[in-house]
Structure 1
Amino acid sequence: MDELERDPDDPRTVFYLGQSHRDLGDLAGALHWYQRRADMIGWNEETYIALLEVARLTSRLDEPVEQVVSAFERAARERPQRAEALVELARFHRHAERWAEGLSAARRATGVPFPDHDILFVDVGAHTWNGLDEFAICASRLGRHDEAIAACGRLLDENHLPLDQRPRVLWNQTWSMMQLGEPRLLIRAEPPPLRVGKTIDLTFTITTSRRRESFERTMDALLENCLDHHLVARWICIDDGSSSEDRILMQRRYPFFEFIFKDESDRGHAKSMNRLLATVDSEYWLHFEDDWQFVKPGRYISRAVEVLDDDPTLIQTVLNRNYAETLANHDIVGGHMVVSAGKDFAYRVHDHVDPASPEFGRIFEENPGRLTNAQWPGFSLMPSVMRRRAFDRLGAFNPGAGHFERDMADRALALGWRTACLDDITMLNIGRLRTDTGPDAPLNAYQLLGVQQFRTYPDVRVRLAPNWCTGDELAAVWRRQLPVSGHWKGLRFVGSNDEADHTLVINHPGPNPIGTEDRVLLAHMEPFEGVRTYGPWAEPTNDSVEHFHAREFGRNLLEWHLDATYDELITSHPAKTRDLSAIVTGKRLSPGHHLRLDFLHHLERHRVPVDVFGLDNDENFTGYRGALPWLDKRDGLFPYRYTIAVENNAEPNYLTEKIVDGILAECLVFYWGCPNIHDHVEPDAVILLPLDDFDRARRMIEAAVREDEHGKRLPAIRRAKLRLLDELQLAPELSRVVRGHRHLRSLPVHLVNLDRRPDRLRTTMERLATVAPSELVSRVTRFPAIDGRELVIDDAIHHMFRGSELPLRRAQTATALGHLALWFELMNSDDDWCLILEDDIDPRPHFASRLGALLGQLDDDPGVELAFLGLHYFGDDMYPTSAVQRWRSVDLRGVMGGTFAYLMSKRAAHKLFDIAQRDGIPCGIDTFILRHVDEVRSVEAVPHLVTSPVARYGGPVVDSDIQYE
């Protein structure tokens, strides 16, 4: 006051008197002095603050609305380059629920740029985010949700919003999205146009499977809302199993895509990801699945790339906060916020917490009722921008893992890779959620393909016992055929001194001891001329081995002689710079040795250029290029478009690393050897050489090189390569065998037999004893068949078998009732499958080994519900044949029927029993099953594992209890 008395017109003194009274809580006094200062001439910034304080105090003193509004408006006019007055005016209206007035004031505030030259009490928040925040709230309350979402999006995108305000703004955005019913179903006749602009080193990929509508929703939303999708340099779509009609429509709608269309043999998500790994070579990789819809516009690629560039330990930027799938996931607990090194943006980094730790329990204690993903390791296949080079160390996705995404996430965590995410909800899942369960949930891509999504495989430890080296030496080589995680669906190779579940003898044990308690698998990998020298291991007894992988029904265990791992081979394509190679040995022992060397001499005489590799050049080839490292033929194959592979012998199912190495090196192989090679390698991936006619074979090679057959057939070669890696090579083969025999060891086996036919029971058991181990034979349970001679057909039976065009036959009806009883027993048991046999069967040699292998194949195809081990056909020439034991879908052409040997699942039993209850059984039980193969997925063993005599019109008389009734 002394200063005021000395100079009553000093504006600075008056201003600070207002400040002092305000700070002391004297609002009326403060208002007096601020008003006086506002009416004085002085520093214009100070005048503005005085007017702003007048407006604030007028509001706090509950003056009339018009007076308060007028005060804020006067302050705003005094200094239009300042936004505080407009922000507080908007807030004043909002508190009074005058949403339209608040929206108007907030809109004006957002148009005021930051006052770079002002210095007095500049409120940074008012000029960077408060106005937009007020605008979003008012717009939402007015039902203008698109505007509210856009405003919240700006707040979340920009770097001004304080971290503690982000959850509130995210909830405001979420609430508006809920009011709009996001994700909205948007159907467009034409997709949004592709944006044009400068690209970066980034590839976009998307996996899709039999969901064209979902794929189109995903892509149309991306093209509309991802405002910087012009940055994408390459677009790739990999499709798994869609119809040819849908594929044509996809190509027409999105012509900028490179489409990779997979066939049935290559189905599966992990395999798709590995195809993409082998294709994507850019620095950044934006990956989507076909069931995500952007729900608001943004520059998502730029933001995600900026995050990766901010921290080299990040493997990816997920485009949704904390792996959210729905709007309800907006507040999932987890991770921590990070401000970028340049302080210009913020993002969230995932924190993995061990579910068994006290810290994990505290998450739920401190956040009751909220979800968390803290238990997840980090890496995810949710839409994200990934760092492609990270996979150079991580390796491939493991199709043999029960949860291949989790397997990759665990590996990434172990190597120190972390996952970041945008702290925002940018998109929503439009398919099946991770939390969706029950029969009414929509099908996801895995279910549409008939493959399992998640499964835990128990560890299976296999000790090796080859005849040519120690098991430890071979295990060190064969481990490269496993994914980097070290197992294939639980199968691992262990050392000779480690505990093992199985011992795999290759040819014969050689220097490797075999214990009396070992569960032995035996595989022959040499031609028949060598097998004869194996003594008791040439044709083992049923009880000496659990499985005999005989070439009568299965291929060699396929290894490769390339110093390259599974992960390296499946994620790369060799660069081709040369034409033709051949890798030889100087031996002249077997027929193939002579043919191989003599044909190469023929080529050189006719001046066909061929680079020859071998340990020596005793044959004096002019194209000799030297020796290759032991078990590593890469230099003789990787640079070459073509190679010549001649097996030592031509025997069914005898194929070796000679053709395997060529295909894995993506060569077009000129081949001689296995006569049924096309059972294993598709025809376009190999050219068969007629080495009984050297001139013809040479002309075929010359024509193929001249006409670039390698380029034309490269897609087929790569398909064959993938099939070798994921299905045919020894790791998946052995995995199927051990899983199949594990199933066989616990499989209930029922033998249907009439009390009055002990002779047939005895004969059948004797036959089984010659082709199966005693352990399996001892588990065969006799099921007393219902005797048609004693059956009384009452009203209940008439009802069950209603609809028949012929009178009921008692024997046929009794047979059906017996099978129905077994189905009912399975339905009420703890078993998932059972094997049902009739007492007139004749099982094929190596029955148990064949069945174990087939059960392993079923384990990889969970959609199968019923499997026939044999069927009756109308003609002997109609029976299916194959050199490789396998399943095929039941083809009804020529089939008479037959329930003499089949595997029944609990699912099939329920389905067929329900159909019988609903519709009746108007025919024989075998015909009843076959009539419903469109409802119960059924397969047939090829060749049949079991035969049974069948009565045909005009044919020989057979021992049958029902067929002559």
Structure 2
Amino acid sequence: MPTICLTMIVKDEGHLIRDTLKHLLTYIRFDSWCICDTGSTDNTIFEIEDFFAKEGIPGSIHRHAWKDFGHNRTLAFEAAYNTSDYAFVWDADDEIVGDFKLPDNMTADWYKFTFGARGCTQYRRCQLFNNRKKWKYVGVLHECPACVETCGPSADVFGDYHFVSGRRGARSKDPQKYLKDALILDKAFEEAFAANDGLYKRYAFYCGNSYVSAGLREKSIPFYKKVLSFDTWSQEQYIACIELFDAYEQLGKPEEGLFYLVESFRYDSQRAECLLRLVKYYINRGMSQVALMYYRGIQEYYENKYEHDPIEDKLFVRRCDADFYLPYYMIIAAERCKRLDICANMFTAILKYKYLGLTDWWLQNLFHNLQFFITHIPTTVAYATGLCSYIDLIHSKGFRLQDSQYATLYSYLTSCTPAFAAPSTFLTTPRPLRILLTMTTCKRIDLFRKTVNSMLATWTDLSTVDSFFCVDDCSSRDDRIAMQEEFPFFEYYMKTPAERGHRSSMNIIWQKLKEERPEFWIHLEDDWLFVRKDSYVANSVNFLTKYKDANIHQVLFNRNYAETYTDWNIMGGIPLETGFFLHDTNRVSGRSCAYWKHYSFRPSMTRVETILSLGDYTTPNTFFEGDYAKRYADKGFKSAFFDTISCLHIGKLTSDKKGVNAYTLNNTAQFKQSQNTYVVNLERRPDRKHAIGELFKKAGIDSYSVFPAVDGNSLVVTEEIVNLFTGNDFRNRRGFIGCALSHYTLWKQLLADTANEYYIIYEDDITLADDYCNKLAKLVADIEGKDVIYLGYTMIGSRNETAVDTRIVRCNLHTYIGGTFGYILTKSGCKKLLDYIESHGIKHGIDYLMKICTGLDIYNAQPHIVFSEWVEGSNSKGDSDIQKDYTSIELVVSDWKKDWIYHDAVDSSDYDIMHLPGVSLHALAIKAASTQGCVAFNTLGFLKSKVGGFAKTPYINSPGRGIYVKRQPTDSIIRVKMLCNWCSSEDLCKEWKNMSQGENRWNSIQLTSEDDCDYYVIINKPRQGAFFIPEKTVIFHMEPWCGNEAQKWGVKTWGEWARPDPAKFLQVRSHDRFVNTGFWQINKTYTELKGCVDKDAAFGSIISSVCSSKYFDPGHIKRIDFMKFIEAKWDSDVQLHIYNEDNKHGFASYQGKARAFVDKERGILPYKYYFMCENNVEKNFITEKLWEPILCESLCFYWGCPNVSDYINPLAYVQLDMNDFEASFQIVKAAIQENLWEKRLDILREEKKKILDTYNFFPTLERVLKDAREVFSTEKRDE
């Protein structure tokens, strides 16, 4: 193996050099070292010599005076020459990432290595040199190596690694580093050009780069233009084209830079960076066809060759542009041009390259746009499993999609069923039994096939299962033969009719476990489609082995007992390690599975000894899975999950009140044998469930089931619901629809129920007559030939006649109002009702539908034996979740709403074009879109040519009614109207404009003072009479609570606005839950603050403070008093410059005014140090008093928010104790003497970025709205 000498130049790197050397030795074992120090004033030399002495590696330190990089690196080469076979050149703050190895057989004279991760800027640079030859570096900066004698070509070292060019070294501490570099290179260029030294070309290029890095893009323009005029390396010219366009775009002149994007194809026709900018430029101007035209120039290379291009001959490649941003924008362009095949190819590229160095916003848009071309992506196993892997990857990075996006993915995965279910071969090898896989199946060979074949397609280690065992529950003879022929590796237990039922199957499996005694048991039923490739067996065995002592004995293949791909929103669980988490039965907000114990029959692996210790599945109750889960949990046993969704439930879902499962197919009850008595109950009304239980217990009814009612409040509109209810006479009220669906679902269940000829159905708000059970028995005995028997009903007047004996009489439909609170329905009646609904839908309340159903033979008990209060309206005292719910639901599943902005409970007067009464909203939208001059329509059916202000009217004034306003072509943005308590909306927008990315815009958000908006923001509280829609309103509290009893001001005095009800608003950002939003009053824009700040050397270490003269809040007093205390010290190390309106307190250090939104920055920006106190000390209450100095890169001596360190790095400010002025003064003095500002400048800049891009009002609002909206799209947006 050739010997290697580590060769470096260093200066003042003592803070990191030992770590760097230790890091290097983990990758390369050096035989010697040669390090040249260029004037260190710290312990750098000691650290180097001490480190290598302990490692036993010989070498030498050389001390050279500094001249420039080319000169001093050449001296290092000369010092190391011929001391080894190769010299490895390294910088003190560089590092290696990944699986790096030097070539096994090194024969080349020099070797290039990759700098930069795939998702970042990448380039290749020589670092390893033949040390038997002489080398030099040329160039004062951005120097490059050259061989002094003849040498061979360089070789590339590829692999799964990259080098990182560090920014932690001594030189990087200088905030003026890049500007100084630019000035050096500018001078070097002039000298080289005058001397006709070819280096001038390189100097021009890197001078432009340095001006860009210094934030002075305009100064870079002439240098990049020079680069294009020279005969030089084409890669530098390509980069110059990028930078020229970016510079002109930043100057607001993108058209001037457009030429250079097109010019770039002369220098490299394969790179993506300039093409990306062209595509974005033309998309943003509505010229997607032009964007597509430019893409076609690179299409063949990008779609077929780019993946395998090592880019070894390219400079500063921004791989993220080709890996994500180009295909992202091309999806938009191609969709607009209806080239959905290109959309699919671009999405495939994004999945392939897996770039994730981006924010949630991009992924939300990507997966929103997927719906437009989902039918064009491949439905193969490889593609679908690759997509699932990508979803797992983005989840592992903390990203989450919207429910609607998971639904799109669910639909796609379902469409891949034929691929996953395609037959394949599988051979087993007899061996000792350690792992047993079992299945139960019942009369569903189609599902059984899909389940097994999908396992064969996705389980990469299924062959490690030692034995397969299937229990079949009464399938047909032909199906059993087919199963055995298609899947012969299973051992089958064919049950007899006497063994029917799921419990019997599980006990047969339990007995098998007892007899065979495997260590691990995989079990699943016959209705799961696996969609993820994984090593299910090995991962499960390893996990259960690792966590045995933690009492975890089952691991399920889906997170949180999920059934569908939309179940990613089921919350809860305790992370254990990457890819796994523990089931948690503690309740969390949102959907959760906390109600369910540990242990389930869903696809999983379980430790067998645990199951055997619990006994078989014999329990007192029919629902034995729940009993067994309780038995498992009571022993302290736990279950865990794969942190993913591996398989989809293709049988009847738990939430499905329709359809059939294995119990229905086998004529067995899942929860109660031959149950025919049901109570309809909303799951959100446990009070009623308890009350009905007590009522039935008192009456002697012990055999009944609670049927989970369809909750109208959470109803998701489907095509079936639209078809059933369109044209109804109850205005689409959610309660009516939920009630009707509940009864309708039970009717369908009865028709499919082969064990029962009738159902007794109750609602949960009833009372019963005395001796109820005996009276009911008499009615049931006389049920023959009847369709419906109402056990009671609401009637007009009081006509419930009395009788000695309970009997059945024909119902007087003239007095009947409703009776679904208690009735008996026979199968004959059930069929008539379902036939009627098939023909007519459900256009009336379910009670009235039963009354008018053709041919339905209706009777009632006389006298009535079941009673329920009739709720006549909202003022009735009765407790009704139906009659008192006036909210409506849109019976539309199409995407028409994307073109309209809805304003609820308000209308716009006049300007009516036509009136279309009784027409559905969908039809109204279609008519409005096709009517010339129509810009809006309301829910009453009026089409309008103009929209004025919004207001409640006599006809539209309550939820469920409103007006739809057409989105304009510019409505790709989200309009947010601003309201506050101190000025007009227009003035507020002006005040806060600086915090935006420009003109009150932030990505897709646009602040406005107009009523035509999507959302509202209230800062503090609104002015009297201000209009807003609460459910579309975000409230930001930005004033203190002022909890001191002596304070008669503050949020606490705002009445209803002190604690707005979060349930009424989109979000209430009060300080008990959220940190005060970031904002500033300095007259600097977001863009200006993104750059570095130049401090005025004339101010030295003077402390500035911009403060009012107020003297009543605690912070006012402490602030004024402490500055007086400092002035009284007359300490030359601690000097003040104080700015305010009037110098009311007579400060000797007074410098004049610094007015908010005018010139406040003059009192902060030039200063290294700043002092400020918050007016009040309150949790989460951070104001501009800290935001502003950090934004100005000033180190603030601060007192105020007690939990400020929860949000801001404590090193970005200096905490003072305003109860101890002397101690605080000494802290201030010590900080200045230690030059703490310079030491913490990098931290200040990091925190500044956090404030600008995270805590700032605009990104905060963006996050809130993203959570509230289904998606943000760059092209289309939904309400």
TM-score by length of 1: 0.40
